[in-house]
Amino acid sequence: MSNVLTIHGGKPLVGSVSVRGAKNLVPKAMVAALLGSKPSVIRNVPEIKDVDVVTGLLRLHGVVVEHDCDSGEIYMDPTGVKTANNAEIDAFAGDSRIPILFCGPLMHAVGAAFIPDLGGCKIGDRPIDFHLEVLRQFGAEISKEPTGTYIRAPRRLTGAKLELPYPSVGATEQVLLTAVKADGITELKGAAVEPEIHDLIHVLQKMGAVITVQTDRTIRIEGVPELGGYNHVALNDRNESASWASAALVTNGDIFVEGATQRDLTAFLNVYRKIGGDFDVRDSGIRFWRGGDTLNPLVLETDVHPGFMTDWQQPLVVALTQAQGVSIVHETVYENRFGFTDALIRMGASIQLHRECLGSVPCRFGQRNFLHSAVISGPAKLTGTNFNIPDLRGGFSHVLAALAAEGTSVATGMAVINRGYEKFFDKLEGLGADIEISEN
Ligand code: EPZ
């Protein structure tokens, strides 16, 4: 993918974009196919790098994977699953966090797994202690090696009574993908209940799993000896939908997001309306535009589902730099998710970061020296500048700011955007953005 994007700001984005399957579900559903004794099919798959990484890792482990990019359908046959060469796994994993979720399925299938040092967006330390702790409780033996973590099941894994210190999405997925074929019952307290978690549960249920989600964030899984295959249409990507909605707000445009689903965007839509955006929910998607001449400042706190999702705040912060007054954003999910504001400040935004918890949501980062609250004063005139994009959502925000700024910006490191935004450049051009794409 091209790596340099030149952006001439000041033009509203107008038109429509189509959003397909969720980046934070599809790769996990593909890993789940490893658990089956029959082939599986996942549909509505976007063309993003995280899907390519899992495709390569599955093939390394002997799984037949056929991906029809146009139809968005992937066929997987896990019946030939085998162990893979650690160096090959390491080379393939790159900057993805998904390999950690291969542990349970590979231990069930071949008795062991090797997990390279994980990548993913640099938005905090992103430890895997919750993952390793639950795997030990299932009976796995874990040894840290220079190139990664080696995990093995000396005997059939057994169900466990588990409780997460924080409703971690990844650790909840780790438990689901391990417990479904463990011997006996697993009870997980303090689980994540994001829409992507529910969709993964639907995938596993289609395979033959017995999973109950209780009202108090407790998930119960009754292990079964064998699972079949599945045929599943992935839920749409709520984070990409929210990103394009913010693009309409920031550029004073008008964007129809085909595939945007109100059910998964409730908290976002409330904030969108409060800041001064407007939206029209239709059967096939949602139209987003700026409701009036000015944007309203607000106090925003991110949280786990059903709260305001942490991946939604970066694009929205750009809109808050244009609001009439002072806004506060308290990021409670990741300790270091405001790094992207450096470039916005260089463009003219007025943003101060603070170590204090500026909000009421219980937070693990108070007084621990993490700059996890932001005070944003607007409206600020943004002027184009050059920047290297830091991560997926921060990168989208940089591009938004450049689209709203006066003058020209040159963005490098754009390949990162391809991890989670399908056909990003095509969509920008389709919305009338004044851009040039080149290699560096
Ligand atoms: C998933 O990351 C998503 N990524 C993230 O989206 C999303 O922001 C996040 O969930 C929260 O919703 C994928 O699904 C690939 P967590 P994950 O485990 O699973 C701490 C994007 O841009 N934690 O819920 O890694 C962790 O440090 C990405 O699409 C531990 O301390 O998130 C964080 O503070 C960004 N120990 C908090 O929990 C652990 O073992 C939430 O992390 C695991 C997590």
pLDDT at 266: 98
pLDDT at 95: 67
What percent helix, strand, coil does the chain show, rounded to 5?
A: 35, 25, 40
Distance of CA 158 to the CA centre of its chain: 30
Closest CA to 335 of 71, 121, 51, 45: 121
In this structure, the residue with its CA closest to atom 11 of ligand 1 is 169
Q: CA separation (Å) from 177 to 62, 109, 146, 208? A: 19, 12, 26, 13
pLDDT tens per residue, range 164-183: 999 999 999 999 999 999 99
Q: 168 CA distance to ligand 1 centroid (A)?
A: 6
Query: Does the beta carbon of 237 sit less than 6 angstroms from any atom of ligand 1?
Result: no
Return mean pLDDT, the chain: 95
Q: CA separation (Å) from 438 to 6, 63, 247, 392? A: 8, 36, 22, 19
Residues in the chain: 440
pLDDT at 14: 98
Q: 227 CA distance to ligand 1 centroid (A)?
A: 27
Query: Does the beta carbon of 131 sit less than 6 angstroms from any atom of ligand 1?
Result: yes
Residue pLDDT tens, the chain, 440 long:
679 999 999 999 999 999 999 999 999 999 999 999 999 999 999 999 999 999 999 999 999 999 999 999 999 999 999 999 888 888 877 667 888 999 999 999 999 999 887 767 777 777 899 999 999 999 999 998 887 889 999 999 999 999 999 999 999 999 999 999 999 999 999 999 999 999 999 999 999 999 999 999 999 999 999 999 999 999 999 999 999 999 999 999 999 999 999 999 999 999 999 999 999 999 999 999 998 899 999 999 999 999 999 999 999 999 999 999 999 999 999 999 999 999 999 999 999 999 999 999 989 998 899 999 999 999 999 999 999 998 999 999 999 999 999 999 999 999 999 989 999 999 999 999 999 999 87
In this structure, the residue with its CA closest to atom 7 of ligand 1 is 311
Please give the share of the chain, as a percent, with pLDDT higher than 70.
99
Query: Does the beta carbon of 418 sit less than 6 angstroms from any atom of ligand 1?
Result: no
User: Which atom of ligand 1 is nearest to 393's Cα?
Assistant: 22
Q: Which amino acid is at 367?
A: Q
- Is the distance from CB of 27 to CB of 67 less than 8 angstroms? no
Query: Does the beta carbon of 122 sit less than 6 angstroms from any atom of ligand 1?
Result: no
Distance CA 214, CA 212 (A): 6
In this structure, the residue with its CA closest to atom 27 of ligand 1 is 126
In this structure, the residue with its CA closest to atom 44 of ligand 1 is 168
pTM of the model: 0.97
Strand (E) or helix (H) holding 34: none
Q: 401 CA distance to ligand 1 centroid (A)?
A: 25
pLDDT at 145: 84
Q: 333 CA distance to ligand 1 centroid (A)?
A: 8
Strand (E) or helix (H) holding 383: none
pLDDT at 90: 81
Query: Does the beta carbon of 57 sit less than 6 angstroms from any atom of ligand 1?
Result: no
Sheet strands (E) in 9-165: 14-18, 40-43, 64-68, 73-77, 112-116, 141-145, 148-152, 161-163
- Is the distance from CB of 378 to CB of 350 less than 8 angstroms? yes
Query: Does the beta carbon of 24 sit less than 6 angstroms from any atom of ligand 1?
Result: yes
Q: Which amino acid is at 178?
A: T
DSSP 64-99: EEEEETTTTEEEEEGGG-----HHHHHHHHTT-SGG
pLDDT at 78: 98
Distance CA 151, CA 145 (A): 10
- Which two structure tokens, joined as six digits, stand for 296? 């309203």
Query: Does the beta carbon of 419 sit less than 6 angstroms from any atom of ligand 1?
Result: no
Strand (E) or helix (H) holding 216: none
- What SS3 class is residue 279? strand
Active site residues: 121
